[in-house]
A and B are shown apart, each in its own frame.
Chain A
Amino acid sequence: MVQQKNKKGAYMALLACVVMLCGIILLENICVMLPQDSVPNVLKPTSQLFAVLKKGAVYSLAAVSMNLLNGFTGLFSLGQAGFMLLGAYTYAILSVPVADRAAVYYLYGGSAVNFSFQDMFGSIFGTEGVGGAVSMGLGVMIAMILAGCVAAMFAYFIGLPVLRLKSDYLAIATLGFAEIIKAVFQWQALGPVTNGANMIKSFPTFSSFNITDASGKVVLRLATFFPFLISTICIAMICLLINSTYGRAFKAIREDETAAEAMGINLAKHKMLSFCTSAFFAGVSGAMFAMFVTNAQAKVYTTTMTYEILLIVVIGGIGSISGSVLATFLYVACSEWWLRFLDSETVIGGVKLPFLRAGFRMVVFSIIIMIIVLFFRKGIMGDKELPDLLKRRTRKEAAK
């Protein structure tokens, strides 16, 4: 009986994901379907809404992967930005079309890596029309998977020495590795590969997924759909992992390491598994972040970025996947969109509102964060998941 309930839940979740993804496509394409002047401002492709949705999708994967490590395995790691950087660079280096490499790496007289997946598939499927789209899509996919793999591989080597450390020491050591990685990628000597401190650009981005007709007019927008699709798949995989026998072992380690070890759970192996898996998905989200900002540059992946993601995880609730996702969208929407009006000087009825000028938005935003941290200690969701809450609701109603 227990089994059947699980199955039903899985189908419901799958259905919800499909509905959400369809909804995103619809939302994005209203501006294509409706006549140009009747589209409300918020739904125009240039609207902040879509930027928020894209960034939210990217960050939610980063947050969930951090939650896997910090919330579910109890390993306090602050290396997230470092792994995202690895993912972003791996993706960027493997995806810049060969034709554009000379322009991107002009300081170093061209790139040392004269190869991109897009070109490789292009030679099989062709570079025009449908063939071009297929080779671009495949190229992006493979580069993204490799981005994750590279991050996971680095995580393995980093994990060997540092995973033995406890709590805060582990945190500061992983933070240190992220900083070291950042410095290495900015090193001039590696310029032909990493482009030194300059950014790598001209690789396929989210808007490359918009389908255009022969005249270059967009017929189907998929720029927001793509990050949603990838994040949904990845987060679903993390969910499956957490509910598997290995995920349960992770939770046991979080709650009592000594007991877990005494019950035959190999600490080193399981911590490493969790660390590498988390790094893999962080790498994928890093690749997507590079697509979102349309470039890869090492100096963006600072500790501040890690703190930001940690903040999201805690606001959403440590140990809650749906909490992390929810918190990401709220966080991104608040910081990038809803509070924008605070940054511009406003005059209402002849009176100039006090305080409103550039920078005020972030002050208000950080006050909101402090309020959440102080008064909602367990975050939005605690360690519950969205379906748990819905279930309880229906049970309560049934009791009435």
Chain B
Amino acid sequence: MEFAISVLISGISVGGQYALIAIGYTMVYGILRLINFAHGDVFMVAGLLGIYLTASMPLYLSMPLVLVFTVLLGFCIERAAYKPLRSAPRMSVMISAIGVSYLIQNTATYITGGQPMTYPVIPFLSDTVKIAGTSTKWVTILTPFLVLLLVVALTQLINHTKTGMAMRAVAKDFETAQLMGIRINTIISITFIIGSALAAVGSMLYFTNFQAITPTAGALPGLRAFVAAVVGGIGSIPGAVVGAFIIGICENVIKSTEFTVFSDAGTFALLILILVLKPTGLFGEKVTDKV
């Protein structure tokens, strides 16, 4: 019983962290129809920034700076690698995303020398707490609440502000939105900024749990978060969150059995199952080709 609870708790917690990354994927996809392969690496860079910045300044300064620099990185990636390809076929943009991911990983390898780095201990978050008979870190307990808080804030922003309305318009129809006087470049930048900021928060939570960061540390969580976004129906924010919790719990349940090798395979099997049953994910919109 205790074991089951601890598995569930860590599943929900990891799921929450994936949710923060998945929102970045899903928002960008909703607007640009682009699988932003570099997003997982932005997440990794946020982790590295955390290490380097806390080494030279106190936490209350370094953590906000991590946020700022990650947001800046996301913004720059969009401007440098995706904006010039706005009129190009979708495939080119995606390749550009893969290229950026490559560049970030290689640069990180170059700077860190490829050695795993250890994420700093954040007081309070890393402290242990006993709940329902199992001991865990505070971060595990806090993550789901923080995620829910951020998601509610985000949905408020999207549904009740002018910027949010513009975002929805751009997601529905890129060209018409442009013709209606919406500055799409600003909107797209805002999307990337929100996505990167959430990824930065996610990195603080995630790496407090899994402290070793290598240049490819972003790839797997990124991939899982992306799978979560697809399971939930890519383009839908609630979908991404639900999907992320499902993936997180699923992964931890498989990891707790003897089939640990299959933790990622299980995630993908779930994905394929859902896609076969519901080709556009749980909350995805159905698109039909008019003849």
Determine the residue in chain A with the shortest Cβ distance to B82: A374
Number of chain A residues close to chain B: CB under 8 A: 45
B170 on interface, CB distance cutoff 8 Å = no
A51 on interface, CB distance cutoff 8 Å = no
B61 on interface, CB distance cutoff 8 Å = no
Bitwise, B30-51 to A at CB < 8 A (1) or not (0) is 0001010100000000000000
Contact of B99 among A161, A311, A362 (CB under 8 A): A311
Known: A370-B100, A377-B85. A362 touches B271 (CB 8 A): no
Which residues from 171 to 194 on chain A have a C-beta closer than 8 Å to any C-beta of chain B? 171-173, 175-177, 179-180, 182-184, 186-188
Which residues from 137 to 189 on chain A have a C-beta closer than 8 Å to any C-beta of chain B? 161-162, 164-166, 168-169, 171-173, 175-177, 179-180, 182-184, 186-188
Smallest beta-carbon distance A51→chain B, Å: 21
Which chain A residues lie closer than 8 Å to B261 at the CB level?
183, 186-188
B53 on interface, CB distance cutoff 8 Å = no
A173 and B269 alpha carbons, distance in the complex (Å): 9
A314 and B90 alpha carbons, distance in the complex (Å): 12
Contact of B96 among A166, A169, A357, A370 (CB under 8 A): A370
Known: A169-B230, A258-B289. A311 touches B106 (CB 8 A): no
Contact of A370 among B35, B81, B264, B279 (CB under 8 A): B81
Which chain A residues lie closer than 8 Å to B100 at the CB level?
370
A359 on interface, CB distance cutoff 8 Å = yes
Which residues from 54 to 110 on chain B have a C-beta closer than 8 Å to any C-beta of chain A? 81, 84-85, 88-89, 91-92, 95-96, 98-103, 106-107, 109-110
Which chain B residues lie closer than 8 Å to A369 at the CB level?
99, 102-103
Interface of chain A, main secondary structure? helix
Which chain A residues lie closer than 8 Å to B240 at the CB level?
none
B275 on interface, CB distance cutoff 8 Å = yes
B164 on interface, CB distance cutoff 8 Å = no
Contact (Cβ within 8 A) B91 A318: yes
Contact (Cβ within 8 A) B279 A165: yes
Contact of B272 among A176, A188, A310, A373 (CB under 8 A): A176
A314 and B98 alpha carbons, distance in the complex (Å): 11
Number of chain B residues close to chain A: CB under 8 A: 46
Which chain B residues lie closer than 8 Å to A165 at the CB level?
275, 279
**Total contacts A to B, CB within 8 angstroms?**
119
A52 and B37 alpha carbons, distance in the complex (Å): 28
Smallest beta-carbon distance B113→chain A, Å: 7
Contact (Cβ within 8 A) B92 A359: no
Smallest beta-carbon distance A336→chain B, Å: 14
Contact of A359 among B102, B109, B226, B272 (CB under 8 A): B109
Which chain A residues lie closer than 8 Å to B265 at the CB level?
179-180, 182-184
A198 on interface, CB distance cutoff 8 Å = no
A182 and B287 alpha carbons, distance in the complex (Å): 32
Known: A169-B275, A169-B280. A366 touches B88 (CB 8 A): no
A133 and B257 alpha carbons, distance in the complex (Å): 49
Smallest beta-carbon distance B97→chain A, Å: 9
Contact (Cβ within 8 A) B109 A362: yes
A179 and B99 alpha carbons, distance in the complex (Å): 21
Interface of chain B, main secondary structure? helix
Contact (Cβ within 8 A) A367 B268: no
Contact (Cβ within 8 A) A176 B269: yes
B262 on interface, CB distance cutoff 8 Å = yes
Contact (Cβ within 8 A) A363 B103: yes
Which chain A residues lie closer than 8 Å to B262 at the CB level?
183-184, 187
A362 and B103 alpha carbons, distance in the complex (Å): 8
B291 on interface, CB distance cutoff 8 Å = yes
Smallest beta-carbon distance A267→chain B, Å: 12
Bitwise, A348-374 to B at CB < 8 A (1) or not (0) is 000000000111101101110110011
Contact of B95 among A166, A171, A303, A314 (CB under 8 A): A314
Determine the residue in chain B with the shortest Cβ distance to A161: B276
A307 on interface, CB distance cutoff 8 Å = yes
A366 and B101 alpha carbons, distance in the complex (Å): 9
Smallest beta-carbon distance B89→chain A, Å: 8
A318 and B95 alpha carbons, distance in the complex (Å): 12
Which chain B residues lie closer than 8 Å to A161 at the CB level?
272, 276
Contact (Cβ within 8 A) A166 B279: yes
Contact (Cβ within 8 A) B279 A169: yes
Known: A169-B230, A173-B271. A359 touches B110 (CB 8 A): yes
Determine the residue in chain A with the shortest Cβ distance to B287: A166
Which chain A residues lie closer than 8 Å to B268 at the CB level?
175-177, 179-180
Contact (Cβ within 8 A) A162 B275: yes
Q: Which of the listed residues B81, B107, B110, B226 has the most CB atoms from chain A within 10 Å of its own CB? A: B110
Smallest beta-carbon distance B73→chain A, Å: 15
Which chain A residues lie closer than 8 Å to B275 at the CB level?
162, 165, 169, 172-173
B234 on interface, CB distance cutoff 8 Å = yes
Known: A177-B272, A179-B268, A359-B113. A365 touches B106 (CB 8 A): yes
Which chain B residues lie closer than 8 Å to A310 at the CB level?
95, 98
Q: Which of the listed residues B85, B88, B109, B265 has the most CB atoms from chain A within 10 Å of its own CB? A: B265
Contact (Cβ within 8 A) B230 A374: no
Contact (Cβ within 8 A) A363 B269: no
Smallest beta-carbon distance B203→chain A, Å: 21
Determine the residue in chain B with the shortest Cβ distance to A164: B279
Which chain B residues lie closer than 8 Å to A169 at the CB level?
230, 275, 279-280
A-contacting residues of B (Cβ < 8 Å)? 29, 33, 35, 37, 81, 84-85, 88-89, 91-92, 95-96, 98-103, 106-107, 109-110, 113-114, 219, 223, 226-227, 230, 234, 261-262, 264-265, 268-269, 271-272, 275-276, 279-280, 287, 289, 291
B-contacting residues of A (Cβ < 8 Å)? 76, 161-162, 164-166, 168-169, 171-173, 175-177, 179-180, 182-184, 186-188, 257-258, 303-304, 307, 310-311, 314, 318, 357-360, 362-363, 365-367, 369-370, 373-374, 377
5 inter-chain pairs at a CB distance below 8 angstroms, sorted by A residue, are A173-B271, A173-B275, A258-B289, A307-B37, A307-B102
Sorted nearest first, the 5 A-B pairs with minimum C-beta distance are: A176-B268, A183-B265, A359-B110, A362-B106, A366-B103
Q: A168-B234, A184-B262, A363-B103 are in contact. List 10 more A-B contacts (CB 8 A).
A: A166-B287, A168-B29, A172-B230, A176-B271, A187-B261, A187-B262, A314-B91, A318-B91, A358-B110, A363-B107
